[in-house]
Chain A
Amino acid sequence: RKEVEQDPGPFNVPEGATVAFNCTYSNSASQSFFWYRQDCRKEPKLLMSVYSSGNEDGRFTAQLNRASQYISLLIRDSKLSDSATYLCVVNRSGGFKTIFGAGTRLFVKA
């Protein structure tokens, strides 16, 4: 079993739709959590950190559920430019390793 698991998708949604991605992690010692965005053939870039209390950045909302060991990303009012792969990222405590999920592919269509 992978340490960080995501539904690979693809998610195909129309412009203006709301879409949500989940990610589960298996290591209970995981300490910090992030969502990265990766465009085709490009390097990943940080979308947002995920805080225990949940956090919002414009149309994007991230949630963390430590008890169930999952994090989520909600995108409201989807734009064509949101089409990308979204990577769930987890840092373990007690070490220096950042672990990436395989990513969820999103296509937003006009």
Chain B
Amino acid sequence: NAGVTQTPKFQVLKTGQSMTLQCAQDMNHEYMSWYRQDPGMGLRLIHYSVGAGITDQGEVPNGYNVSRSTTEDFPLRLLSAAPSQTSVYFCASSLTRNRGATNEKLFFGSGTQLSVL
């Protein structure tokens, strides 16, 4: 069972460079999301998607783009990397878009450590 696969695990960028963090799930999950985790801040929601072709902004969307052309894939694009985007990024998915359900477990990828110099 692959679950949620994130690549790369580590990345170093220079200020101004662009890159895409990949996220794929093989569980036919409807809901996918991207978080960043910074010390003392917890996980903050960047963007999320409730299905193919549908995306929306989370708490901290600036500087990031997403798309959801298929159910399986939800890439996160950094358009022009900045040192403030140095963080650990997690992709997460769950079966349905129903965030209110008490059994709506989030499955996480193993994370990407990104450093922007």
Contacts and interface: CB of A to CB of B under 8 A. Distances in A.
Nearest to A101: B42
Nearest to B31: A96
Contact of B48 (A41, A45, A96): A96
B105 interface: yes
Interface size class of B (residues with CB under 8 A): 20 to 34
A72 B18 CA distance: 42
Contacts of A51: 102
Main secondary structure of the interface of B (DSSP, over half): loop
Contacts of B106: 36, 44, 46, 89, 98
A74 to B, nearest CB: 19
A32 B97 contact: no
B32 to A, nearest CB: 11
B47 to A, nearest CB: 11
A87 B58 contact: no
Interface size class of A (residues with CB under 8 A): 20 to 34
A31 B43 contact: no
Given A8-B40, A44-B90, A87-B43, A98 B99 contact: yes
B104 interface: yes
A-B interface, 8 closest residue pairs, ranked by CB to CB distance from nearest: A102-B42, A43-B108, A31-B100, A100-B43, A91-B99, A49-B102, A100-B42, A46-B105
